[in-house]
Amino acid sequence: MFIFEILVLTLIFYLILNFSKLRRGIFSGRDLVFPFSLGFAITIVDSFIKTAFIVAFFAFIVIFAVCFGVLYFITAPRK
């Protein structure tokens, strides 16, 4: 999935940044360097954001469970 995302983003950036060259029929391998760099950078940042979200979500679940447990035992009626 990582490679697929890089390829799709590279293609999208290539089409956006080199539209006028494509209409004239000019292609150069050097034209792929900048779109590939942008696609790679966005893929890396996106994977870090997804990882941070997952870690934050699990931290939220753990903190919620601890707070719920503590409050439940504090407010539980005594026998």
Contacts of residue 31, Cβ cutoff 8 Å, sequence gap at least 6? 14, 17, 18, 21
| Res. 31 pLDDT band, cuts 50 70 90 | confident
Does the pLDDT value for residue 40 go beyond 90?
Answer: yes
The 10s digit of each residue's pLDDT in 48-78 is 999 999 999 999 999 999 999 999 998 878 7
**Confidence (pTM):** 0.68
Q: Which residue has the tokens 């029929």?
A: 25
Interatomic CA distance for residues 1 and 13, integer angstroms: 18
Does the pLDDT value for residue 20 go beyond 90?
Answer: no
The 10s digit of each residue's pLDDT in 7-17 is 999 999 999 98
